[in-house]
Structure 1
């Protein structure tokens, strides 16, 4: 069933308004007409099954048929910090990460970054990425749209590590080394220290992924000093657009979201 996100103010006691591009898409593309039903969410606390009363390309007015539970979000809020990759790879990370359950995305600059960052283009790119996150959230029936944060410098990213319950730094040498630590081991060690505290049930987690060139030893040392745990993703070298998706899936499994823990 089609799903749309709207601003909280578009919800009324018994009705919802769909406006702008969403109304145009519903009427012109989906051929929505009075009587049709779809799901609407305010991205915060309310999700509802609605029935269309009036429909134009400018605005749709729909009656709330039933309030639905907001239960599709993972218990752990996992943010993917992705060093800026070249081309449209960031779009893939955001699209698939949103489908899987990422809480937010933090693009950042790193030493071996291939792409040349242009701050003048940042607003337009973030607007594009936010649209991709919205569409993926609708497709996957999320209850919220992941936030796309402004591009961080390396120092800004390091300074943010302390605000998370757990930060994992994806480092290929951890996958190669005989005594390397994988994400599963890192998470289980962290859980063992929590002693069933609230943080273990509703953890705020940061997953840090490098660009095409990976991370330098200096960056790994600085991340570890800031509180991140160096963790590998196996013995194979993953593409930058693959690493975050794999890491996110591993974390959700270990949290019990996908049958783990």
Structure 2
């Protein structure tokens, strides 16, 4: 299918061939007025929670798309999960990281206000920034035809990142680390990948996270931008976990 549309309000898990489904609002408007879908065309509809329905368009209106379900596929939630803790970065570098990470299969994203982050989300800007990342994640989920849409958590400080070490294997991308990420082997635990800002993770933060149980790892001999380091590491981890 060339198009995927998401509607979290749909109960696709209980759908079967021949059922009718309706998309409304902005998602339907985009399908009808931008993609110009017409009756008879094929389209995929997802609920962002693991279910994809292949459908045939039955009818259209300016803000409504009516489809008939042809088949339904339920995709299990990935396990172990991969969470990206992405430090805020200047310009659109953190947004580029979020977009690529979603396309490459990350399961959750945590915005991190690192001490060296040039960009700052303060006050109302924190929720506005999180919503912006969530919008990027949604579009990347649709583009990559994913059954599950990654969660975007609220902005966290270093203390919140350290707390993640209690229930997962936390990996800090650090160019000076001795261990290579390609040498890691799956031990069944969920993975949390921590990527610092443009200036890297500050020594004090590095010490705090390692003391909490995090492991430092490097990608290779070169130093990648914060916008590319996370996605590159996710690709490596996906291969190790057998996702690719």
Shared fold (TM-score greater than 0.5)? Answer: yes
Q: Which residue, 23, 33, 37 being the options, matches 2:38?
A: 33
Q: Shift of residue 10 of structure 1?
A: 5.4
- Please say if residues 113 and 120 of structure 2, whose CA atoms lie closer than 8 Å, have aligned partners that are also in contact: no
Runs of 4+ more than 6 Å apart: none
Task: Select which of 191, 198, 205 maps to 1:212.
Answer: 198
**Equivalent residues of 2:116, 2:201 under 8 A apart:** yes
RMSD of Structure 2 on Structure 1 (CA): 1.7
Which structure 1 segments of 5+ residues have no match? 175-179, 195-199
What is residue 175 of structure 2 aligned with on the other side?
172
Q: Report whether the alignment pairs 1:237 with 2:223.
A: yes
1:57 partnered with 2:62: yes
Output one character per residue of 1:45-64: Cα deviation in whole Å (capped at 9) or x when no partner: 42111111221121111111
Query: Are residues 29 and 240 of structure 1, via their aligned partners in 2, closer, same or farther at CA, if it must alter by over 3 Å?
Result: same
Which residue in the other structure is 1:177 paired with? none
Q: Name the one with the larger helix percent.
A: 1
Aligned residues: 239
Cα shift readout 1:117-159 (whole Å, capped 9, x = no counterpart): 3232122222221111111111111101111111101111111
* 2:207 aligned to which of 218, 221, 236: 221
Query: Partners of 1:217 and 1:45 in 2: how far apart?
Result: 40
Distance 1:250 1:9 in 2: 34
| Cα separation, 2, equivalents of 1:50 and 1:118 | 43
Match among 24, 27, 41 for residue 22 of structure 1: 27
TM-score (norm 2): 0.91
1:213 is paired with a residue of what secondary structure? Answer: coil
Q: C-alpha distance in 1, partners of 2:202/2:4? A: 43
Question: 1:256 offset after TM fit, Å?
Answer: 2.2
Q: How does 1:1-261 map to 2 (within 5 A)?
A: 1-9=2-10, 11=12, 13=15, 14-70=19-75, 74-164=78-168, 166-174=169-177, 180-185=178-183, 187-188=184-185, 191=186, 194=187, 200=188, 203-258=189-244
Structure 2's unaligned 5+ residue stretches are none
